[in-house]
Amino acid sequence: MNKTAIILISLLLSATGNAFSQIPLKIKARHTADRDTITLTSVLRSRGLLTVRTAPDPVTGKIGNIPVSDLMFYEIIPGNLESLWQMIILKSPVYDNLLKSGYSYETRSAMEELMKEYLGKAEQNNSFYIDSYLEARLYAILRKAYPVRNPDRRPGILSLRILSEITPDAWVGPDGTMIITTGMIAALNNETEMMALMAQKVAHFALDHHLSNYSAALMSGIDPALGNIIRHSVLQEQAADNCAAMVLSYYGMSSSALGSMLRNVMNYGELMGNFCLGSFPDAKSRADLYSVTIMDKSADYDKLIAPVISFNAFMAYNQSHYLLCRRLLERNIASGTTTADDFVLLSQALMNLSGSDQEDLEALAVVRSVTGSLQEPPPGAFKQEALLLLRLGRRGEAETALDRCQEALEREELKYSARPGDWSEMLSYLESEKDWVARTRTR
């Protein structure tokens, strides 16, 4: 018996071995005709139909059973975030599946192991971006998008990790861990778009799409690897979009944030050569369902993510995405959060994009905003200035820039030599830069 067959048998056994009779609810509903208000206390299956049970009538003491299909005659009134998601899930097949098959603990445990393996490898490879303040701000948004755990007590605790990756992506694993890339953070304009993104991604967790994808993979003889169960179909994405729109509405926010979020991802993707849109299937048609405008950038959000933008710009430059690097750094300039290193990197990106003396002069002006204004500019600023001057044929000025680069390197060398600890790698780098200055002079 092959491995897939064994897993499939385990899946079928786990699906039938832990069924239960009802799931608790706490949702108020008002009849659209007589305006009577009831409280839904649980959902169960009765005579083969999904049914909601009501709290005892205050006058008669009678407990009511209402087929879920009859809830179309009621206005659901979510009192808090948990009851909002109970309402959303009630309209999906999730509760019916749970009441038929139970929690499927063995299958969920298998999916959780896949996620543990992924997180462990990411930790070993130092793939996570660490910024405690940023994480705290993102957690605040995440907690507004979804409770800490599923309202029906399915396994999984909602948490958050930031991945060092310039491609804009976000997903929630089967254990409830939200992975969001630095590229995704930089692609968005404000915290409202972040709320839209988080609500949309966590909806896959709430709607049990991972379990559906895992089961479908086994039935098709496909390896139920993590990558296969976290990438969702267009129909699943559309269902998650609808959930996110309801969450935004609950907070009085416009669903246009969903469209704006998707358009920003597409715009970001264009700067990368459209290599990232596989994570957002049918993004354009989904975005077109919402307002065509892109939401304004938030000054507060831009200041919050300025270090992320600088980080992404550096990665973009190293991966030859010079146009993306430029756009990111120009965003920091617009928000007033640019560092000296940002200006040097921007000048380098402009030089690599340049096709004329005029564009080289623009790059020179950018780097000279550092070398001409700071008391102790970084050595890299003088190196960049020298390279541009040499390209422009201004050898005398280039010699001066190289002299200042040499002085800055010696200053840095003295600084690190006096510091406690092992700075041998930095000192070795500074020595190699001094060698570069010497070689450049002879050329």
Helix residue spans in 159-282 (DSSP H): 182-187, 191-206, 209-219, 226-229, 234-250, 256-271
pLDDT value at residue 20: 65
Contacts of 311 (CB under 8 A, 6+ apart): 129, 164, 182
**Cβ atoms of residues 81 and 144 within 8 Å:** yes
Give the residue among 397, 330, 331 at the shortest CA–CA distance from 361: 397
The three-state secondary structure class of 156 is: coil
**Contact partners, residue 58, CB within 8 Å, separation at least 6:** none
Give the pTM: 0.90
Q: 281 falls in which pLDDT band (50, 70, 90)?
A: confident
Rounded alpha-carbon distances, angstroms, from residue 320 to 69, 116, 317, 393: 55, 33, 5, 25
| DSSP assignment letter at 377 | -
pLDDT at 10 over 60: no
Question: Could you give the CA distance from residue 372 to residue 352 in angstroms, rounded to a whole number?
Answer: 22
How do residues 377-432 score in pLDDT, each as one tens digit?
A: 999 999 999 999 999 999 999 999 999 999 999 999 999 999 999 999 999 999 99
- Residues above pLDDT 70, as percent of the chain: 94
CA–CA gap between residue 272 and residue 184 (Å, rounded): 13
DSSP string, 253-311: --THHHHHHHHHHHHHHHHTTS-SGGGSTTHHHHHTTS-SSPPPPPHHHHHHTHHHHHH
**Residue written as tokens 């303040």?**
133
pLDDT of amino acid 377 = 95
Contacts of 368 (CB under 8 A, 6+ apart): 385
Q: What average pLDDT does this structure show over 201-208? A: 97
Percent of the chain whose predicted confidence (pLDDT) is above 90: 84
**Strand pairing of 177-181 and 159-163?**
parallel
Q: Two tokens at 273?
A: 């050569």
- The mean of the pLDDT values for the chain is 92
Which residue type is seen at 65?
Answer: N
Flag whether pLDDT at 276 surpasses 60.
no
Report whether 203 contacts 197 (CB < 8 A): no
Label residue 320 by pLDDT band (50, 70, 90): very high
| For residues 238-245, average pLDDT | 96
Close Cβ partners of 137 (under 8 Å, ≥ 6 residues apart): 304
- Asked whether residue 259 carries a pLDDT value surpassing 60, the answer given is yes
Position 12 scores a pLDDT of: 46
* Residue 61's pLDDT band (cuts 50, 70, 90): confident
Using an 8 Å Cβ cutoff, are 364 and 388 in contact?
Answer: yes
Assigned token pair, 36: 């009577």
332: left (phi over 0), alpha (psi -120 to 50) or beta: alpha
What is the pLDDT confidence band of residue 442, given thresholds at 50, 70 and 90?
A: confident
Q: Pull the structure tokens for residue 60.
A: 């008669």
Domains and CATH numbers, the chain: 19-79 (no CATH), 105-287 (no CATH), 339-442 (1.25.40.10)
